[in-house]
Structure 1
C-alpha cells in the first residue's frame, strides 16, 4: 500500500480518494456502502471522496484510520500533500516578503 501521493510522467497526482479506492476498498473487497456504515457517514460522503469532490477532513481521517487499520496522519498527509502539489500559487497575487533571509 502506498504511503505517498502517486505521480505519473504527465504530472498527474492521485487524489486521496483514488488511493482509498484503489489501494484499500478494491483490494480488500470493501464497498463504499460498507465503509460508510462502518464509520458512521453517508455513502455519498465516501463517493465524493473517491471521486475527488470532497477533501478528507481531520474527523474523516480518524474514521478511516480506525476502520482500515492505518493512522489518521496517513490520511491527513495524503490530503495535505495533494493540496500542496495541486495548489496554484499564482492565484495569490503579488505578496511582498516582510522578512528577508
Structure 2
C-alpha cells in the first residue's frame, strides 16, 4: 500500500493553533488567559487549539478575527488547509464513482 506525499512522516504542517501561538500570541505578548477572557472562551479551549487537540470552529474563527483584526476566513482557511493536507484519502476505502466523465 502506497501513501500519498502528504501523509509521509517527513512532511510537517503547522497546525492552526501553532500559527495562532507563534504568529500572534507570542509576538504580541498576549497570554492564553488574556485571549480567552477577551473572546469569551475558556483558557482550556485556547490551549487545546494551540496543542492541536481542538479544531478552529466557525464561531472561534469569528472570535479570533475580532480579537486580531483579521477575517474569519483567514482562520477557517488555516483549519481547512491543514485538514486537507493531513487527511489520508486511503482511509476512505474503495469508493466507486457514481459519475464518469
CA distance in 2, matches of 1:33, 1:68: 15
1:33 maps to 33
Gaps of 5+ in 2: 1-9
Indicate the structure (1 or 2) with the bigger Cα radius of gyration: 2
Q: Distance in 1 between matches of 2:38 and 2:55?
A: 19
The Cα of 1:11 is off from its aligned counterpart by: 1.2
Q: Deviations over 1:56-90 (max 9, x none)?
A: 00000000000011000000000000000000111
Structure 1 alignment gaps of length 5 or more: 1-9
1:16 pairs with 2:16: yes
In structure 1, C-alpha distance between the alignment counterparts of 2:56 and 2:30, rounded to whole Å: 18
1:30-69 aligned within 5 A? 30-69=30-69
Question: Any idea what SS the aligned residue of 2:47 has?
Answer: helix
Distance in 2 (alpha carbons) for counterparts of 1:99 and 1:13:
33
TM-score (norm 1): 0.90
Task: Using structure 2 for the length normalisation, give the TM-score.
Answer: 0.90
How many residues are aligned here?
92
